[in-house]
Chains A and B, each alone.
Chain A
Amino acid sequence: MQLTRVAAAALTASVSLFALTACGPPSSSNDNAGSDAASATSAEDLGGMDALIKAAQKEGELNVIALPPTWANYGEIIKTFADKYKIKVNSALPDAASQDEINAAKQQKGKSTAPDVFDVGQSVALANTDMFAPYKVATWGDVPDGFKEETGLWVNDYGGYMAIGYNSDKVPDVTKLSDLLAPEFKGAVALNGDPTQAGAAFSGVMMAALANGGSADDIAPGVNFFEKLKNAGNFVAVDPTPATIESGQTPVVLDWDYLNAAETAKLPSWKVVIPSDGAPVAGYYFQAINKDAPHPAAARLWQEFLYSDEGQNLWLAGGARPIRGDAMAKAGTIDKAKWDALPTVAGTPVTPTEAQNKAAADYLAANWAKVVG
């Protein structure tokens, strides 16, 4: 009965997607201006920033996708960019996932509605580098090696550390992960999603692994930690959202520090700590330009804006750590109050490589359901 409903829903979804793509007007005839911009790998290729701004303004629009207004301050970033350059920003599917961005670019290829730029998680980015156009922003040199692809296909943009957010009105203070095994946390600890599905939850299990003798190569101790948490009755299978946090259903949430920090603005008793028992887990998002971008100059101007001092400080205002943060702190251009207000981190941060991620994901796919089911 309802199976057909599921199938019908899936089909309706794909039909409406098709309708969406079909309705997009054909790509307008700005190809002459676009052809230079589409192959430009830096602002100089177009004759400098002023020429880039002019070309972008001639295109007049920028398509972004999957950028929630409350996520790392994207609402303000988009508005500031639009006001500053008088370019209309079309923000599609703000709550979509990384893979949806790539899917949209493939389905709408050649249409004026296709996304111009991507902001995606690591595994999606590395699996789709053939969709990206190489580009180096003016501040390219500030981005540490290892956080950018050498030709500029992708550059890490902002990130943070896995953290524990907790409601200090409802539970005792937390400093390390092992605190959460105490009986006071009965039915209170939530993970932001299923780790076989959501990147943040995956990093949460990785954080637990590092705190319990594991490493980026060995996520098993993390799974064992959640098994202990579950057996103690403390782990709860609720998907935490701002609503569950504010209503008190999820008094403890393991999530990125910048997403947890965003909750503090609404709930003052919501505190964020990076646990001290184990190396911190760092995660950065990947910024890239769609090589088939309908607005190639605007896409490049967007990158210049994001990696400018202004753009980086806007991310920081959303609680995220901009990739140029350390360089800007040294140069004194960072928003110091906000930079100092970020949760403190001790120890050398761990960022798993793609191979380590893959191995850990396979382990989780085989074992996670057994532990929490």
Chain B
Amino acid sequence: MTMSFTRGSVRNALPLVPFFIFLLIFLIIPTVSVVNGSISQDGSYSLDKLAALSDGAAMGALLKSVLLSAVTAVIGAVLGAVLAWLIVSSPPTSVFRRVVTSICSVLAQFGGVALAFAFIATIGYSGVLTAWSKSVGGPDLYGTGWLYSVTGLILVYTYFQIPLMVIVFLPALEGLRVQWREAAVSLGATSRQYWTQVAGPLLAPAFLGATLLLFANAFAAYATAAALVSQGNPILPLMIRTALTSEVVLGQAGFAYALAFEMIIVVAIIMVGYGLLVRRTSRWLQ
């Protein structure tokens, strides 16, 4: 492959220009300004704000963010994979398959205030399910307000993680060719052997890659958490909000940059892992 800029290649690249401008404005410039903002203050450079990331509250938020993302990614990945498998097992034209895949496409993008409100209206203090459970003498679903803590976020995030898993994992499952199974069976493999020695290893990279994608998705989600949790800023995106808008502790914008920088690093690590795993899977699925 040559890299010379012939007239043809320039012309072919032209349609991409808007995309590159978009990348520059919405990805590269913000990233550079975040990194710059986290180490510079009034023209001079210092690592104070990055050092502040090791404070108790900031470390706690990082820990809880990672925990929340990991737990919802694993729950979402396992349940989503099972659902995806059920979808693949049904015939391509079945109503079940079409209904579930289209529902998943919608729900995977259903987040933010609307989702938070849906849960509040269902199992909040005066939610429909809470009131019903109370009226029939069932358990107190509201409890001590767990919905408005990290525990609640795990439940709410899972709601969009499972459908997202179905969407990203379905192509990998569909890529499993019937011939491979037939070949394994004709060589005397049991169903169990087929899954552990053929399908399992084939699907593992895709499964892990999808899990990482889910992790990044939960790690950076903001609006849902902001609508639900108003105390203690347990996760990083909420801590950034406080650093930017606090009227009690002023002048923390630099710390917000440092927190954002920390998030970029975590997501970058995850995305590199995702990229490596996807490359490995795509070898098999061509």
Contact of B30 with A194 in the complex, beta carbons under 8 Å: no
User: Does B61 count as interface, using CB distance less than 8 angstroms?
Assistant: yes
Contact of A249 with B125 in the complex, beta carbons under 8 Å: yes
Contact of A236 with B125 in the complex, beta carbons under 8 Å: yes
Contact of A123 with B247 in the complex, beta carbons under 8 Å: yes
Q: With A1-B216, A8-B26 given, is the CB distance from A123 to B250 under 8 Å?
A: yes
User: Does A247 count as interface, using CB distance less than 8 angstroms?
Assistant: yes
Q: Mark A209-239, 1 if CB is under 8 A from B, else 0.
A: 0000000000000000000000001111111
Contact of B64 with A197 in the complex, beta carbons under 8 Å: no
Q: Which residue of B lies closest to A232 (CB)?
A: B144
Which segment of B78-86, B192-200, B226-234 sits at the interface? B226-234
Q: Which residue of B lies closest to A248 (CB)?
A: B126
A362 to B220, CA, bound (A): 27
Q: With A1-B217, A236-B145, A369-B233 given, is the CB distance from A248 to B30 under 8 Å?
A: no
User: Does A305 count as interface, using CB distance less than 8 angstroms?
Assistant: no
A187 to B125, CA, bound (A): 8
Contact of A1 with B245 in the complex, beta carbons under 8 Å: no
B19 to chain A, nearest CB (A): 14
Q: With A7-B31, A123-B250, A127-B250 given, is the CB distance from A370 to B56 under 8 Å?
A: yes
User: Does B129 count as interface, using CB distance less than 8 angstroms?
Assistant: no
Chain B residues with Cβ below 8 Å from A112 are none
Chain A residues with Cβ below 8 Å from B26 are 4, 7-8, 11
Q: With A1-B220, A6-B222, A193-B230 given, is the CB distance from A369 to B247 under 8 Å?
A: no
User: Does B143 count as interface, using CB distance less than 8 angstroms?
Assistant: yes
Query: Which chain B residues in 131-176 approach chain A with CB under 8 Å?
Result: 142-145, 148-150
Q: With A4-B27, A249-B120 given, is the CB distance from A99 to B232 under 8 Å?
A: no
Contact of B232 with A372 in the complex, beta carbons under 8 Å: yes
A66 to B216, CA, bound (A): 36
Q: Which residue of B lies closest to A371 (CB)?
A: B232
Q: With A11-B26, A11-B30, A249-B126 given, is the CB distance from A121 to B57 under 8 Å?
A: no
A265 to chain B, nearest CB (A): 21
Q: With A6-B220, A124-B247 given, is the CB distance from A249 to B230 under 8 Å?
A: no
Q: With A3-B264, A237-B231, A373-B232 given, is the CB distance from A202 to B57 under 8 Å?
A: no
Contact of B56 with A366 in the complex, beta carbons under 8 Å: yes
Q: Which residue of B lies closest to A122 (CB)?
A: B247
Q: With A187-B142, A237-B145, A238-B230 given, is the CB distance from A1 to B213 under 8 Å?
A: yes
User: Does B55 count as interface, using CB distance less than 8 angstroms?
Assistant: yes
Between A and B, 16 residue pairs with Cβ closer than 8 Å are A1-B216, A5-B220, A7-B27, A7-B30, A7-B260, A10-B30, A124-B247, A127-B250, A197-B247, A198-B248, A248-B125, A250-B125, A365-B57, A366-B55, A369-B233, A373-B149
List 5 additional A-B contacts (Cβ < 8 Å) besides A1-B213, A373-B150.
Answer: A187-B125, A193-B230, A197-B247, A237-B230, A373-B234
Closest 6 CB pairs of A and B: A233-B144, A239-B230, A236-B145, A237-B231, A7-B30, A2-B220
